[in-house]
Each structure stands twice: as C-alpha cells, then as structure tokens.
Amino acid sequence: MTQTLKTKVLIIGAGTGGYVAGIRCGQLGLDTILVDGGDGLGGTCLNVGCIPSKAIIHAASKFETVAKAADGGTLGITASKPAIDLKATMAWKDGIVRKLNGGVAALLKKAKVKVINGWAEFSDAKTCTVKTDDGDITISAEHVILATGSEPVELPFLPFGGDVISSTGALALDAVPNRLVVVGGGYIGLELGIAYRKLGAEVAIVEMADRLLPLYDKALTDPVAKWLEKHGVELHLGAKAGSFEKGALNVTDKDGKALQLKADKVLVTVGRRPRTKGWGLENMGVAMAGPFVKIDDRCATSMKTVWAVGDLTGEPMLAHKGSAQGEVVAEIIAGHDKRFDPVTIAAVCFTEPEIVSAGLGPQDVQGRDDVITAMFPFMAIGRALALEAGDDGGFVRVLASKTDHRILGIQAVGQHVSELSNSFAQMLEMGAVLEDVAGTIHVHPTMGEAFHEASLRALGHAIHI
C-alpha cells in the first residue's frame, strides 16, 4: 500500500542547496520533508566532490613533502623513501565524509526535518512518489524546492566504466595508477591530476582549448602551467580525445596528428550538467533556460510556489551558491522579503598553486580606461617566503574604479590563497573602496598582507615594492 504524506515544504535533493534549505525551513518552523535520492546527505560536494577531493589533495601534498625530504632533503629535513597505501588514504577520506554525513543528519533532525531516502518522481508540480526500500510514498506539498544538483558529463566515445572514470571514480581508487590521462583541463581535472602527480603517477592532460583553465586570464593560470611543466605533466593543448582501446587513449593533436597515450586510467572531466532527467521535471510545467531550470531573483520558477536552487539553476555551479539560495528560499516561504542578488560569488581552483577570483577580471574590463589595476607579488611577503609560497609567481591583483576607487574585482594565485577568498568576497559585497582595505591594519605576518599591499599599490604608494 502506498503511504501518503502532506507537508508545507518538500525539498528534492540533499546537497548543499537542499539540506541548507531544509535546516533553515526547520528553524523557521515550517513543516518540511527532504527527499534524498542521490549521493547521500550533503550531496555531490560532501560525498564525492568538494570535501573528499580536498582531503585527497591534502594527503597528496603531504606525500610530496615527504618525498622531497627523501630526495636530497628539504628545509634541512631528510627522510627515507615514502610509500602510499591509497586504500588507507581513501579510508581516512571516507571517515571524514561519514563524520560530516552524520553532522548533517543531526542538524536536520534538530530542525525537525523529515528525511526520506529514495528516488522521487513528480506526476505534477506539487506531487511526487518516492520509491523507498519500504515501499512507495506519495507526497504533496504547498511549496516544492528543487535541488537535484548536477552530474558529470559523459562523452559518447568515452563512456564511464572500467578504466574510464569520472571524478567520483578518481576519489575511490585503491591504488595510484602508473599512468593517468586526464581529458579536460578545467579545475576538476587539474585538481585531481595534480594530486595524482604528487602521489607518483605519470600524468597527461588533454584539453581542447589552447590553454588550461580557459575561463581565467593567462596571468592567473601561468603559475599553474609552470608547476605542471616543472613536475613533468604532459600537456596536449588544442587536442581532441578519442576512444580508449587496449590501454591507450586515441588523441588528435592541434596539428591534426594522431597520437596514442598509454593509460592505466582515463579520467574524464569535461564538465557537469544539471540533473534534470529521471524525476519527472517534464511533468512540472516549469520554464527552462537552456539545460537549466529558469528562475528569477527569488529563485522562483515559472510555476507558483515551485522553487529551484543550486546547480540546477545555472552557472556558477558552486556549492556555496546553492547554500545561499537555499537560505533565501526558506526565508521567502516563511514570509520574509528576500532576494538572491549577490555582488559576487567567489570561485576557487584548488590547483598547485591555488587560484581565487571574485568580481570583475581583466577580460571583463578590457578596453576601458576608467579602471585601476594593481598587482602585488607574494615573493615580497614574509609569510609567503616562510611557507615556501613566494617563488611560484603568485600574486594578488585588485581592480578598482578610477573615479571613486570602488573595488570591482580581486584575484589571486598562490599557495594557500583559497583562505583569502572570503575576505575578497566580503569587500566586494560591502562595496569597499581601495581606502577601506588600505586603512585596515592587516596582521603581520600573513598572506593577506598581499591584499593590503595591492590596494596600496593601486593608490600609488605600496610599501614593500
């Protein structure tokens, strides 16, 4: 017999957008059901994305440090040759994920959100049937929040399976491949490719564009390209991947020459797409914007009291965007006057070195003569030198209006710069001017001093350069 439930709010998807919306709905006293039919509480980010990948990146960096100590020493430190037990590393990573899963479950329980594990399919805009291990449950709701997230793009000539893996598969290997070929030179492919190079794999990257990370300007990506070259990562830019046969990936290089790249594993990271199939979206009557669900500045769809958040709604497909949207929707349903209208959504590439971008970049202001641009190198920052983070070409760059000094954009490349991203976003969100940053006493010695000095330089009086 099918069980029937009614609720004020029904949320589909337990990723960063869905579960945050659920917690906020619960805090606001809204009767809420959250249906989790995907990767588990926390969604892609927590289970097979942001968190586990950063754990593996951290482990890889530690391994690289020990390897340097064994290869002639580093900072006066020597060590014997290290070994990696990737099964144990993955078990450690899985432990982090389980701990965070448990934390999300506890927070949802505290907020009195009912969680149902199963796959939902909508028959109309406000009604779905969830297939669970204990039978079907039909749920009808006054408000529906769609937070189904995204999934890796699969190439028809390189279907996932066996030795052709997605980022999810790369985070579940039990041994370091001798040779890894990465198809796609975006941030996901580079993050994982660099991590496996640090762990000892021979790595090749195949990218259709003529340079890596094509969404970022060359000044930001050059330090990453230099790291790859220094560490023997094979780059095939302007190249097209083909089929994978008999342990080799067929590639056509930029000159039209056919190549075969030997590989134990082929990691395909050519992007992600919104998860719109298999749950009855076509029965809901919502308007689309290309492959995404169309929303307004309240995250409302074209169907009354149906909302959408996160990757389902378009670029940037970032976890923190989904979380912020989830909070906004919960508060709107509770009667608050809210809009999702951020000044910026900062983005981070956890490459080597890391890249941060917030607001406008040089490509956005090209040809304009009303913008000040100033850069400050980490090589002139004491903390960076003490962290071995001053000799990789890293810098902080500030863009501001010439007329009123309003900050328009901030970028950085260098080790540990991801920790500066919130400061960058905060200054832009507050509408700060250069004098605000210049007049803030920055702690010494820290990496953030480079932001201070870049702002001083834009005003014409940097101290340490």
444 given a catalytic annotation: yes
Q: In 3D, which of 388, 414, 415 has the Cα closest to residue 76?
A: 388
Q: Is residue 241 annotated as involved in ligand binding? A: no
The total of other beta-carbon atoms located within 10 Å of residue 234's CB is 15
Please tell me the number of Cα atoms within 13 Å of 403 on its side-chain side. Answer: 3
Please tell me the number of Cα atoms within 13 Å of 189 on its side-chain side. Answer: 30
Q: Is residue 191 annotated as involved in ligand binding? A: yes
Helix axes 16-27, 319-333, angle to 10 degrees: 30
Q: Is residue 319 annotated as involved in ligand binding? A: yes
Token digits of residue 384:
């960076």
Q: Is residue 184 annotated as involved in ligand binding? A: yes
Q: How far is CA 159 from CA 78, 96, 154, 203, in A?
A: 44, 30, 6, 20
Q: Is residue 427 annotated as involved in ligand binding? A: no
CA distance 201 to 27: 47
Q: Is residue 187 annotated as involved in ligand binding? A: yes
Q: Is residue 205 annotated as involved in ligand binding? A: no
Q: Is residue 271 annotated as involved in ligand binding? A: yes
Q: Is residue 284 annotated as involved in ligand binding? A: no
**Alpha-carbon torsion angle 142, 133, 150, 301, nearest 10:** -10
CA distance 197 to 192: 9
Q: Is residue 148 annotated as involved in ligand binding? A: yes
Q: Is residue 91 annotated as involved in ligand binding? A: no
Q: Is residue 189 annotated as involved in ligand binding? A: yes
CB of 322 within 8 A of CB of 17?
yes
Q: Is residue 449 annotated as involved in ligand binding? A: no
Q: Is residue 302 annotated as involved in ligand binding? A: no
The edge-to-edge listing of strands for the beta sheet with 347-349 is 347-349, 354-359, 407-414, 395-401, 371-377
CB of 8 within 8 A of CB of 141?
yes
CA distance 286 to 246: 45
Q: Which of 143, 416, 444, 461 is catalytic?
A: 444
Q: Is residue 190 annotated as involved in ligand binding? A: yes
Q: Which residues are annotated as a binding site for FAD?
A: 54, 148-150, 311, 317-320
Q: Which residues are annotated as a binding site for NAD(+)?
A: 184-191, 207, 271
Catalytic machinery residues: 444
